[in-house]
Every structure is written in C-alpha cells, then in structure tokens.
Amino acid sequence: MAGTWVALAFMPVQRRNSRAYLQTVLGRPPALREIWRHFYGFTGFLMQLLRTGRGMTVRGVLAPINAVEFDTLLNSDRPALFGTFHFGSSDLLGYLLAARGRRVSMVRMRVGNSEETRRLGERFAGKISFLWINDAAQLIFGLKAALEAGESLALKCDRLEFTAKAEAFNFLGAARLFPFTIYHVGILFERPVAFCVALPGKTNEELQVFASTVFNPDPAAGREANLRAARIHFQEVLSLLETLVRQHPYQWFNFLPLNPVVPPAGR
C-alpha cells in the first residue's frame, strides 16, 4: 500500500490519465483516494504475475455467460484467435489456454517485466511462444508462420500503437477507435475469433474468466459480409467489457489516454 502511494507520487502522466479515465467511467471528478485504488489494483495484478512466474498455479473459472460456446472452442482442436484487453488479470489468460492443451503464440510488447513473461513461458515450454510487436516487420512473418503451423494467437485489442486496422465502436459513452486487425486476420485465415477477460477470484490462485461468443468467418459469405458480422461481434464484446469496467473501474489497466473519440463525420 505504501509502495502504491510512492508510484502515485512519482508517475504524474499515469496519474493524470487515471484521473481522466475515472472521471469518464464514474461520471464525476475522482478523489485522490480513488486514483490510489486504481494504482493499487494494478499493483495487486503485478504481484499476482510475479507469484505466477515463480511457480504459483492459477486456475480459471468460466463465468456462466457464453461459457458453453467458449468451452466448446477450447476443447476443439481448431486453431483460433483469442483477443483480450488490459483489464484485470487478463495477462495470464494465454497460460490458461496453454494449460488446456493449446499451442499459443502470445503477441506481446517487450518491456521491463519481460523477464517474468519469459519465466512463465518456460513453465509451458512447447505450448507457449512469443511474438514481440516491437519489431513490426518480423511480427508480420511471425503471425503468418504461427497461423500456418496451426497455432492459436493471443493478443490484446485496446491499444492503437501497433495496429494496422482501427475502427470506431461505442465504448464508455462515445464512439472510440479500437484495433480491428484481429478480425481481418481471422477472416483471411478462416480462424474463429473469441475474446475473454479475467478478474481476480476469491484467492490468488483463482481467476474469474468472462468470455464472448465466438465469431466464425463464413468463407462463402465474402469479405464484406464477414466484416459486417465482425463489427457486430466486436461491438457486443465491447459492450460486455464496458459492463465489467463499470462494475470494476479500478481493474482497467490502460494508464494511457482513453481511446480517441471519432466524430460522426469520421466514422
């Protein structure tokens, strides 16, 4: 708790972005204590990540919503694209997919905590590999190779820095830009697309997992029809995410400016 106050004092950019986000989601200016709770939520997740990297086993418990459809996909041998967001304990979902027997390539940015990511990867040797998005040229070849090798992909779909395709969707009271590349890849390679996010469970070892419905591209429908269906699917995903964000506002870990609002003329 003391360390969180230190972070709050020495991270003015993140503090400012947290305040702006909380004002949007709460509908009023947040108190300093509420910004601290936002930082403290992230500290709790980092501790969970560290413990998992050092051997703690985590167990995912699927919430009832869309559980049957999502579980059916997990239990199949069909490679898929799994999207998530910087929300709660979602960083650990790739390892839960591997624990279910899937070979997963996780798309990640190489940052200061990549050592913990490497430790976790070693625990799932043969099931987990990483595609680092810092090198965009290599990423394209890595994505293609992973998909053609029958691996599933796990990637986050809320930050715009490294996306090739972005479109506007309703989120937190406005039409905001979100990465849409996952659907273009799914349609191109005829792979199902599903999203899931995780919140801390009752214990450090438990995650409460919320899944979306599964988007299945139809090769016979054509690209434009599939894209229209994909837009409807992603809006449903974001509506589920918004519900969870409003219920658990301190679990949104994008300490960046909120996704930009697109005026009606630019949508």
The total number of structural domains that make up the chain: 1
Three-state DSSP state, 177 = strand
Residue 15: predicted pLDDT: 97
Closest CA to 18 of 259, 256, 261, 251: 256
- The share of the chain scoring above pLDDT 70, in percent, equals 88
Residue 119: predicted pLDDT: 60
Residue 29: predicted pLDDT: 97
- Does 17 reside within a domain? no
- Does 136 reside within a domain? yes
- Does 130 reside within a domain? yes
- Does 253 reside within a domain? no
Closest CA to 109 of 125, 86, 93, 127: 86
| CB count in 10 Å sphere of residue 61 | 12
Chain-centroid distance of CA 47 in Å reads 18
Residue 173: predicted pLDDT: 94
- Does 221 reside within a domain? yes
| CB count in 10 Å sphere of residue 190 | 12
Residue 99, CA distances (Å) to 59, 74, 127, 196, 235 in order: 9, 11, 8, 16, 29
Residue 101 · residue 77 · CB < 8 Å = no
Residue 10: predicted pLDDT: 95
pLDDT, one tens digit per residue, over 121-151 is 555 555 677 777 666 666 677 778 888 888 8
State the chain's maximal CA–CA distance in angstroms.
58
Bridge pairing between strands 206-211 and 59-62: parallel
- Does 262 reside within a domain? no
Burial of 34 (0-12, 13-18, 19+ CB in 10 A): middle
Burial of 118 (0-12, 13-18, 19+ CB in 10 A): exposed
Cα separation, 163 vs 211, whole angstroms: 23
Q: What's the pTM?
A: 0.88
Residue 128 · residue 104 · CB < 8 Å = yes
DSSP code per residue over 82-134? EEE-SBBTGGGHHHHHHHTT--EEEEE---TTHHHHHHHHHHTTTTEEEEETT
- Does 206 reside within a domain? yes
Residue 151: predicted pLDDT: 85
pLDDT, one tens digit per residue, over 36-84 is 999 999 999 988 888 887 888 888 889 999 999 999 998 888 899 999 9
Average pLDDT, whole number, for the chain?
Answer: 87
Residue 118: predicted pLDDT: 59
The two counts, helices (H) then strands (E), for the chain are 9, 9
Query: What is the domain extent for residue 104?
Result: 58-248
Residue 109: predicted pLDDT: 65
- Does 217 reside within a domain? yes
- All residue ranges of the chain with pLDDT < 50 are none
Residue 190: predicted pLDDT: 93
List of long-range contacts for 60-68, beta carbons under 8 Å, 24+ apart? 60/93, 60/96, 60/198, 60/206, 60/207, 60/209, 61/201, 61/206, 61/207, 61/208, 61/209, 62/209, 62/211, 63/208, 63/209, 63/210, 63/211, 65/210, 65/211, 65/240, 66/211, 66/212, 66/213, 67/211
